[in-house]
Amino acid sequence: MQKIPLTSAKPGMVLAKDVMRSDQASPVPICGKGTPLTDPLIERLKRMGIQSIIVEGHPVFMGGESTLEEQLEKLDKRFRQVVDDPLMMKVKEIYRKHIIRSMGT
C-alpha cells in the first residue's frame, strides 16, 4: 500500500484504507477500503479538501523512493555476511516477500 497525494490518484486505483473526513471532532468515513477510484470520486474528494489517500500496491513512483530492484539489492547487501546461516536466510526471504508485496508486484 502507498500513501499518495490526491493529485496523483488515477481511476482504477483501489483504496487500501478508509478515507476519513477529519474536519470534525470525530472523523467520519467518506469512502471505504476496497473502493475503486473513479474520476467523479477523485473530484468529489478534492472538493472535500482531502489531500492524500492510501491505495493498494505501489502505483506511483515518488521522487527519492527506491525502485523494487534497488530495494532487493540493498536487502542482498544487508544479508551477504550471513548467507551460511539458514535461519537468517529465512528472515531475508520474509523481508523479500514483504518488499515485493508492498511494492504491489
pLDDT tens string 29-67: 889 999 999 999 999 999 988 999 999 887 677 667 788
pTM score > 0.75 for this model? no
CA-closest candidate to residue 8, choices 36, 46, 44: 46
Question: CA-CA distances (angstroms) from residue 42 to 1, 5, 92?
Answer: 18, 11, 38
Residue ranges per domain, the chain? 2-55, 68-102
C-alpha cell at 58: 505501489
CATH architecture of 2-55: Alpha-Beta Complex (3.90)
Question: Which positions ≥6 away from 88 have C-beta within 8 Å?
Answer: 79, 82
**Which has the higher per-residue pLDDT, 48 or 101?**
48
Question: CA-CA distances (angstroms) from residue 40 to 10, 11, 17?
Answer: 11, 9, 19
Q: Identify the pLDDT of residue 105.
A: 53
